[in-house]
Chain A
Amino acid sequence: MSTTPEFREHRYVLNMGPQHPSTHGVLRVILEMEGEYVMDPQPVLGYGHRMHEKMAESRSWPGFLPNAARMDYLASLIYNHGYVGVVERLAGIEATPRAEYIRVITSELNRLQSHLLWLGVLVLDLGAFTPIMYTFEDREKILDILEDVTGSRLTYCYMRVGGVVRDIDDKFIERTREYIKWQRSRMPMYDKLVTGNIIFRKRVEGIGEFTPDLARRYGLTGPVLRGTGVAYDIRRAEPYSVYPDFDFEIPTETGGDCLAAYLVRVREIEQSLRILEQALDRLPEGPFLAKVPKKIKLPAGDATYAVESPRGELVYHLTADGSEVPYRMKIRVPSFSNLSILPEVCRGMLLSDLCACMGSLDLVIPEIDR
């Protein structure tokens, strides 16, 4: 699209959000449009700001645990994991092996449900109403399993420093195995219904392309980055917990477009299932919560802990001054960086493509606003 000055006067501003159906939450994007073409999208953040980082600095560290779950409501357990990880690293506590396995299992279940929701929502953004209902059927199974062990369905507060709150039992293992089988049997259906569909392919192929270089400059991580061919996954790049024990692939695609990000996520579903299987097979016996002192003072110093959330790299950076209250807590959330590429990639795009593009970035707005 040409952006000659005489076109400029035909531009108008379209305000998308904060209550627009495809911004999923309270994201607002101010679009400068020329006809149907988006010439300058500017995301406006902060509608869901709850100052989580500040809250971390104003209470003793265990009090922040429930907050961690509420930043990204689709990956609460992974956020839990990151937070207990950083505290453990700073305080020099080790979780028991069984606890680490349980953490990985629940985290992967959490990742699966996030990817399933995203799959439905992306297709919903593209105008198909039905696949989301099918993914919800699968997702419901995960939520039932997790509810049984964690006690909640969305904002889990399950992990503790040194381990987890409740042990998993045989029923859990059995149900998870059943679920793995079920999910495997469902994937060919999504392949045919969504991936193979010509309308879907035409809507995502070649849309919102970017290079690894650009992705790196904007700090993109997660499936969006892996869609450009960079096999960067914290579970491999900076292994944490017991991930090194497992044999799994980091799926990559080379397109760098929405389709590539889509395919990466769909393949990740299979990889997560593989991790789950292995973890269930090798689950060690032992206590699920290490013996830790009742009150843990955070020693003065810094610690950083990175985990792979379904959307990319999630980093907790904790600075403590020797008291129970953290001095500073910095959280690097993946969606924030992923969103920042929107103005660059979506310039000159059709409005419909912008929706597809935002859908494939898999934004979770409360995580961005924090």
Chain B
Amino acid sequence: MKDYFAQIFTGGKSLLVGMMITLREFFRPVVTVQYPRERLPISPNYRGHTILVRDEEKPEKHRCISCKMCERECPSGCIGLQGEKREGVKGLVLVRYRLDFTKCSLCGTCVEVCPTDALDYSNEYRHVGFRREDFHYDLLAMVEEQK
């Protein structure tokens, strides 16, 4: 009998305590942001898809020497690149660098393996598309668009 009433008391109290906690949280400020309208700053270390680093000193504005190391090492096989021999230029000239981002697992192998540090991660996290092809990035075109 004593237990019976004790349980009512402790139980009721625990419920009231819980309600007080939610009430307190009710008056504390909101922690979410209205995403597409407001955006939180993203860490500069964030690893988005890979990009070719822009290098103003190079005539091609990037450092890639078309050695195909990244293509070979990529575990997901999502890099397709092609170099071309040109008159008067030493080595190969990159003519195509395709990244199939649908397959990329952001493992970082390509960035680490590159002998000239030509690759880096972008800070882009908003990828939207309606077709698979929307995620086939042309890194060469991207590096040309960059200022």
Whether chains A and B associate is yes
A positions within 8 Å CB-CB of B: 59, 62-67, 70, 130, 134, 137, 140, 144, 147-152, 155, 157, 165-166, 189, 192-193, 196-199
Beta-carbon contact of A62 and B75 below 8 Å:
yes
B12 to chain A, nearest CB (A): 8
- Give every chain B residue within 8 A of A157 (Cβ-Cβ): 105-108
Closest chain B residue, CB of each to CB of A194: B18
* Contact A65–B45 (Cβ < 8 Å): no
If A62-B109, A66-B75, A157-B108 touch, whether A197 touches B15 (CB-CB below 8 Å) is yes
CB contact under 8 A between A66 and B107, given known A151-B45, A152-B47, A166-B45? yes
| Residues in A neighbouring B10, C-beta threshold 8 A | 198
Of B21, B76, B109, which is in contact with the most chain A CB atoms at under 10 Å from its CB? B21
How near does chain B come to A275, taking the closest CB pair, in angstroms? Answer: 24
Return 9 A-B CB contacts under 8 Å, by A number: A62-B75, A152-B106, A155-B105, A157-B105, A166-B45, A192-B21, A193-B22, A196-B17, A198-B14
**Interface residue count for B (Cβ, 8 Å)?**
25
B105 surroundings in chain A (CB, below 8 A)? 66-67, 70, 155, 157
The A-contacting residues of B in range 80-129, CB under 8 angstroms, are 105-109, 112, 121
Closest 7 CB pairs of A and B: A63-B75, A151-B47, A198-B11, A66-B105, A66-B107, A148-B43, A198-B14
Say yes or no: is B56 at the interface (Cβ < 8 Å to chain A). Answer: no
The answer to whether B25 has its CB under 8 Å from any CB of chain A is yes
Task: Give complex CA distance A45, B96 in Å.
Answer: 43
B residues less than 8 Å from A65 (CB atoms): 75, 107
Contact, CB under 8 Å: A192 / B17: yes
- Roughly how many angstroms separate A160 CA and B19 CA in the complex, as a whole number? 47
Distance in angstroms between the alpha carbons of A141 and B21 in the assembled complex:
21
**Residue of chain A at shortest CB distance from B44:** A148
Residues of B within 8 Å of A196, CB to CB, are: 14, 17-18
A273 to B10, CA, bound (A): 31
CB nearest neighbor in B for A136 = B31
C-alpha gap A134/B22 in the complex (Å): 10
Docked CA distance A54–B75 (Å): 14
Q: Give the CA-CA distance A137 to B121 in the complex, in Å.
A: 27
Residue of A nearest to B19 (CB): A193
**CB atoms of A197 and B14 under 8 A apart:** yes
Across-interface contacts of A165 in B (CB, < 8 A): 108, 112
Q: Chain B: which residue is nearest A160 at the CB level?
A: B112
Interface majority SS (helix, strand, loop, mixed), chain A? helix
* A296 → chain B closest CB, angstroms: 13
Asked whether, in the complex, the Cβ of A59 is within 8 Å of the Cβ of B47, the reply is: no
Whether the Cβ atoms of A59 and B75 lie closer than 8 Å is: yes
Which residues on B sit within 8 Å (CB–CB) of A59?
75
- Tell me the minimal C-beta distance from A326 to chain B in angstroms: 13
Q: Using A192-B21, A193-B17 as known contacts, list a sample of 17 further A-B pairs with CB atoms less than 8 Å apart, ordered by residue number in A.
A: A62-B109, A63-B75, A63-B107, A65-B75, A67-B105, A134-B25, A140-B31, A144-B43, A149-B45, A151-B46, A151-B121, A155-B106, A157-B106, A193-B18, A196-B14, A196-B18, A199-B15
| Set of chain B residues within 8 Å of A152, measured between Cβ atoms | 46-47, 106
Question: How far apart sit A194 and B107, CA to CA, in the bound complex (Å)?
Answer: 39
A1 to B132, CA, bound (A): 54
Whether B45 lies near A197 (C-beta < 8 A) is no
B10, B18, B31, B46: most-surrounded residue (chain A CB, <10 A): B18
- Contact residues, B30-54 vs A (CB, 8 A): 31, 43, 45-47
A151 to B21, CA, bound (A): 35
A148 to B73 alpha-carbon distance, docked (Å): 26
A193–B15 alpha-carbon span in the complex (Å):
8
User: Is B75 a contact partner of A197 (Cβ separation < 8 A)?
Assistant: no
Contact A189-B45, Cβ < 8 Å, known A62-B75, A197-B15, A198-B11? no
List chain A residues, Cβ under 8 A from B109. 62-63
Candidates B18, B31, B108; contact of A192 at CB < 8 Å? B18
- Chain B residue with the shortest CB-CB distance to A158: B108
Closest A residue to B75 by beta carbon equals: A63
The interface residues of chain B lying within 8 Å CB-to-CB of A140 are 31
**Docked pose: A144 CA to B46 CA in angstroms:** 10
Q: Residue A66 contacts which of B21, B106, B112 (CB distance < 8 angstroms)?
A: B106
CA distance in complex: A130, B26 (Å): 11
* Nearest chain A CB to B64 CB, angstrom units: 19
Rounded to whole Å, the gap between the CB of B41 and the closest CB of chain A is 10
